[in-house]
Structure 1
């Protein structure tokens, strides 16, 4: 509904009163219709502060740019900017009522922001809510924009901001793995392949591998954020820039840089920027890669801590809660299991995102809301999950040195360490005797005076040291 004059704005205001929009809310008819027709989940567009902030920043920069090119008065631009600052400060988010997963291709989302900002701007100018003569949602707040360029721009800005705390959490987890690697550097450990005894190593080497994996993931997530610097602002509906006056595009990026402190850039090809969302597939792919990598680590920890009597029992995980409602004393590896479960959810989100990216049609992708919903969910799950995993589990892991050493010395992995000093054929005979008699190899070595425990430990430690040839 357009309302360019005072009489039209009064009609619109009266109509909104008739359909029951609360007097203390700032949304309008388009927002209400979007909420009534498209609410399918429990989250609104006001749920994620980063998304609200990003949208408000885009509207703020657009208002200042429109003032520069003469599409808005200085008073209108100032009022819109003040309204955007209110949203960024956390005010009026209860007026952002449209479902994050709405199916209008983002139009309902954009109009919810337009209406809230317009009504708040009107208040800053001393006008009543719903009197759109001074600041209109479409004509002024949405000037030189369309849903098709402002929604993906806000989505990129918000995603980039959400990735920062995630990358920081992953980096912190890498630090804890590294500290555990140092702590366990002298703990002899039985290396296994295909769940079978393999070769000697140290427990510190195992955790060093986890640290390297996690550090690499932190770098990849940081790099993913840098892929989101190119925005489609100024392309308006399909990339032609129709509806945005000369000078607007350069002005909007300049103001956005001043507002956000980040130098976002226009695309090399505006049509590509409107048509394609492949960057979100890449970002989601990094989230899935990290999630599944941590699931592997979590599975390892669960296995190594299994028992304490009937399993490996080489690690002791912190006992954070009771593990059973019926079996007294049972403690489960709940934090590792939670990380594995998060990986399932993130992998499913990645399928949704890649499907949404694939099914964009022709000049735009109208499935941006599901990308936003699933992407924000993945980042939130991983940020929270990584913090809990680090603080409540990994930082408090203890090693059972006796169990680690016993498993190694009682295994055939000891035979591998003996080959350089005793020869393959001799060790093979001893190994076969160990299997035939059902006795540990070390026991046979000691009994025959071939090798004592301390000498065997020295050979095992030597075998556990990495050897690299350049």
Structure 2
């Protein structure tokens, strides 16, 4: 081996050894349970380390939801500014903490928020993970080493005038609000797709159905507009439910009495949090009630459940309308995305509506989890907030991911089977309702009975019996007259969301 190669190999070996040495180095931190060795390059501290040992459950950690991590930084930033306002924190410490919080808000250091979302202790581990990481970021940005807590301390500074019992629920409120903006945006886009299809199919007559039976005529466009309007109502519910998340309990500390918090801190913290988040955050009227109750979570989760029920109903309707192709309703075509069977050649399944149904079932189950966990809180604190947070954020994440897929890979590509729609219209006894004003109830009843007995269409019998001229039949089958008898535009319609 020549000298150049030997030198390169030696350099690599030294680098590897030096890297391993750094990785193996630790710093000593302690808490009430004693000392613990923390990796020297870790931004977390001793309480996070214990949580990493105790709560290896789901593998889904705080960093899995970036807005959740940002919410911690926003809450801690608001608290630091409020504590400075009331004269408790120095401006020098505030400046360091502000830099650390802003870095996390900007998306940095998220990989150090490592606590499993499932945890005992009502969120204490998650709160301390945030305190330790933000303290060490602030230290490093100020020219100090990680763990030099005599300069900036996770408890005394990052948790000043605070408790997990006000930080954790407030952080979850903020995270849910940030997530909700994204869920609503995708829901609006999905609604717009339904309304677009409503316009595209506005001239296509079909039979409406009630209780699975032929009812009266409508247009396929009305059916798809109805899907859109149902979704619009669910969106409105999500938006209105935000009001229950605006109320927060920062300053409540342990149980709502405000012990360890300075006078005026709670009000100033709420004002800062509103400015930082861009949401109208406000201090709860009664901090003891706010700390012990989970009503905000229950109300918002209910709105998510309503979205789930709405989307599931729509998905099931689409699956039914696309049944076939030879032995089902087959009024619409869903985009063919993949082969539907490992044994049946040519089969294509409605995979996207099925996926949406699965998401909806999960969200409905998550709402049940929220309900049970919320009712079982004991006295002044609900220890089960972590599972409530997991359930709601999971539902939000699933909807955020699935709705654009549903829109792009299903709704936008739906086409109508016009000949099938026409065939059903001409054969259905349902159009006799439209003949009542012309032929009378008794006559139309006889026509319906005869059509069923002889397996003939209503229009076929009308032509045989010469009850109407072809011009009258043409006018009768006009989509506007058939589906909007109150006028050319029909009943007043709401504006799409």
Instruction: Using structure 2 for the length normalisation, give the TM-score.
Output: 0.88
Equivalent residue for 2:317?
A: 300
Equivalent residue for 1:117?
A: 134
User: Residues of 2 paired with 1:101 and 1:232: CA distance?
Assistant: 22
Contact 2:30 2:46 in 1 (8 A): no
The one of 184, 203, 219 equivalent to 1:186 is: 203
Contact 1:168 1:218 in 2 (8 A): no
The one of 484, 493, 497 equivalent to 1:465 is: 484
1:121-270 aligned within 5 A: 121-270=138-287
User: Residues of 2 paired with 1:147 and 1:14: CA distance?
Assistant: 17
Provide structure 1 residue ranges, at least 5 long, that are not aligned to the other structure: 1-9
Provide structure 2 residue ranges, at least 5 long, that are not aligned to the other structure: 1-26, 493-497
1:36 CA drift (Å): 1.1
1:86 CA drift (Å): 2.0
User: Residues of 1 paired with 2:261 and 2:440: CA distance?
Assistant: 81
1:452 CA drift (Å): 5.3
Equivalent residue for 1:5?
A: none
User: Residues of 2 paired with 1:37 and 1:175: CA distance?
Assistant: 47
**Worse overlay, 412-421 or 113-122:** 412-421
**Structure 2 CA distance for partners of 1:408 and 1:381, relative to 1, 3 Å:** same
**Worse overlay, 338-347 or 240-249:** 240-249
**Worse overlay, 458-467 or 187-196:** 458-467
Contact 2:217 2:430 in 1 (8 A): yes
User: Residues of 2 paired with 1:306 and 1:453: CA distance?
Assistant: 33
Secondary structure, in 3 states, of the residue corresponding to 2:335?
coil
1:190 CA drift (Å): 0.6
The one of 383, 387, 394 equivalent to 1:377 is: 394
How many residue pairs get aligned? The number is 461
1:351 CA drift (Å): 0.3
After superposition, the C-alpha distances for 1:18-61 in whole angstroms (9 at most, x for unaligned) are 85532221111100111211221121111111111111111112
The one of 344, 361, 365 equivalent to 1:348 is: 365
**Structure 2 CA distance for partners of 1:437 and 1:100, relative to 1, 3 Å:** same
1:440 CA drift (Å): 2.2
**Structure 2 CA distance for partners of 1:457 and 1:193, relative to 1, 3 Å:** farther
Equivalent residue for 1:7?
A: none
The one of 18, 35, 40 equivalent to 2:57 is: 40
RMSD: 2.2
Instruction: Using structure 1 for the length normalisation, give the TM-score.
Output: 0.93
User: Residues of 2 paired with 1:414 and 1:221: CA distance?
Assistant: 39
Contact 1:417 1:460 in 2 (8 A): no
User: Residues of 1 paired with 2:42 and 2:461: CA distance?
Assistant: 83
**Structure 2 CA distance for partners of 1:449 and 1:391, relative to 1, 3 Å:** same
User: Residues of 2 paired with 1:452 and 1:402: CA distance?
Assistant: 23
After superposition, the C-alpha distances for 1:168-219 in whole angstroms (9 at most, x for unaligned) are 1112222221121111111111111111111111111111211211111112
1:389-468 aligned within 5 A: 389-451=406-468, 455-461=472-478, 462-467=481-486
Secondary structure, in 3 states, of the residue corresponding to 2:445?
helix
